[in-house]
Structure 1
Amino acid sequence: MNLIISTFENFLKPTNSFIRFLLVGIVNTGIGLSIIFLLMNGIGLNFWMSTFIGNTCGAVISYILNRNFTFKSSKSLEASGLRFVAIIVISYFGAYGLSHLIWSGILNHTSLILVTNKEASVFFGACFYTLMNYFGQKYFVFNKTR
């Protein structure tokens, strides 16, 4: 029981990288999702262009804040930049592709639709994207050399 309590306390510490990552994520997700929905619903761009542009804007903010605040990395821009882009691209296509596939199938077979399959795909894709992105950045982009 003490191990569980200790683990929980450590997780909630403000120095925990996942908590910092989530705080940064609130900022870049708010900006990114606002751009996505503006482009998709306001301007009429398609799902892929809207999510790509919105996530690109969020990614720039994410890189700057995660490099300096979340992981406090001293790695050069060259060393971390290309890896960051690779993780973002893998996370983007993996998360949004999976979410779009899942929600297109689910919402096409239900009669009670509160949101469109595109909107559900965006929200759930953002969740998948966050998890994939965190682990990629922590262990591949900004990992501490031992």
Structure 2
Amino acid sequence: MKKINSTFIKFAIVGVVNTIVGMSIMFISYNVLHLGYWLSSFLNFSMASILSFFLNKNITFQSKGNTGTKAIRFALNIAICYLVAYGMAKPFTMWLLKGQPVKIQENIAMLIGLGIFSILNYFGQKLIVFK
């Protein structure tokens, strides 16, 4: 139980760093650069995922072995979690906040997507990528 708790705490700390970096990229891309929902959220996870891979591999899960294989599994995990999380978050939020301005709906959808992504990503990394 202690290993699970310390792993989760390390994952959470790495996640805070990634969240700050990723959300900055995402919300600046969307609200300042006007790049749209999908491109802004994609840029977030592309950039933050590179940082996340190295921090989680070396610090959180202290994983040794073939970095190339782990990187491929990591990229697949990120892609699946991203598509599921943001694919669910947008239609749900648009339905939930129907009648609100699209900018508000999409900003809230990105926050909800981030929460769903974080949960899915933790289990994917723990059980598949760095097992």
Scaled to the shorter chain, the TM-score interval is: over 0.9
Matched, 1:133 2:121: yes
Equivalent pair of 1:96/1:122 in contact (CA under 8 Å): yes
Equivalent pair of 1:32/1:55 in contact (CA under 8 Å): yes
Deviation for aligned residue 1:11? 8.2
Equivalent pair of 1:40/1:50 in contact (CA under 8 Å): yes
What aligned pairs does 1:1-146 form with structure 2 within 5 A after superposition?
Answer: 10=2, 16-108=6-98, 116-143=104-131
Q: 1:11 to 1:64 in 2, by over 3 A?
A: closer
Larger radius of gyration: 1
Q: Which has the higher helix share?
A: 2
- Rounded Cα–Cα distance in structure 2 between residues aligned with 1:127 and 1:76: 30
TM-score (norm 1): 0.83
Percent identity of equivalent pairs: 32
Name structure 1 gaps, 5 residues minimum. 1-6
Deviation for aligned residue 1:75? 2.4
After superposition, the C-alpha distances for 1:58-104 in whole angstroms (9 at most, x for unaligned) are 10110010000000000211120100000000000000111111101
Please give the secondary structure, in 2, of the residue aligned with 1:75.
Answer: coil
Deviation for aligned residue 1:12? 9.1
- Rounded Cα–Cα distance in structure 2 between residues aligned with 1:60 and 1:118: 25
- Rounded Cα–Cα distance in structure 1 between residues aligned with 2:65 and 2:85: 27
Deviation for aligned residue 1:32? 0.4
Deviation for aligned residue 1:19? 1.1
Equivalent pair of 1:39/1:50 in contact (CA under 8 Å): yes
Name structure 2 gaps, 5 residues minimum. none
RMSD: 1.9
